[in-house]
């Protein structure tokens, strides 16, 4: 093969690879590795993307609620816009609960199931 044909083949292969690779929000790299993200389905990636703005919320500690077993977490910045990726957390199969250090609040991180339901209902 001559140089021109080799170059054209190389460009074609590179473009083909790019067009078949999954697209994901770069923000997710704060919590997930590139390998984890590329092995996920498009549906799960879409749900995680939705979760960037919808997975976390703060709630006051209910009276009488024992939160001693909840892990503690520090939250700085805007409490209205908490991203699980800024805290280095991953969305899990179960909803996660954390004590917020120096506040009388609980951080709730919704499960993948809850986020999928919300996202799908939000489309309708």
- What pLDDT is attached to residue 1? 63
Number of domain units in the chain = 1
pLDDT surpassing 80 at residue 13: no
pLDDT surpassing 80 at residue 107: yes
pLDDT in tens, 23-39: 889 999 999 999 999 99
pLDDT surpassing 90 at residue 41: yes
**Whole domain around residue 99: which residue ranges?**
3-123
Largest CA distance in the chain: 78
Mean pLDDT of 82-104: 96
pLDDT surpassing 90 at residue 72: yes
Mean pLDDT of 58-80: 90
């Amino acid at each position: 093969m001559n140089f021109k044909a080799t170059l054209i083949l190389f460009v074609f292969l590179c473009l083909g690879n790019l067009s078949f690779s999954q697209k994901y929000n770069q923000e997710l790299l704060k919590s997930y590795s590139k390998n984890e993200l590329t092995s996920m389905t498009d549906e799960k990636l879409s749900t995680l993307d939705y979760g960037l703005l919808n997975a976390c919320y703060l709630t006051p500690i209910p009276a009488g609620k024992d939160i001693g077993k909840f892990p503690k977490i520090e939250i700085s910045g805007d409490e209205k816009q908490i991203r699980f990726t800024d805290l280095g957390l991953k969305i899990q199969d179960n909803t996660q609960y954390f004590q917020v250090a120096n506040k009388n609040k609980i951080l709730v991180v919704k499960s993948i199931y809850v986020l999928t339901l919300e996202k799908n209902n939000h489309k309708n």
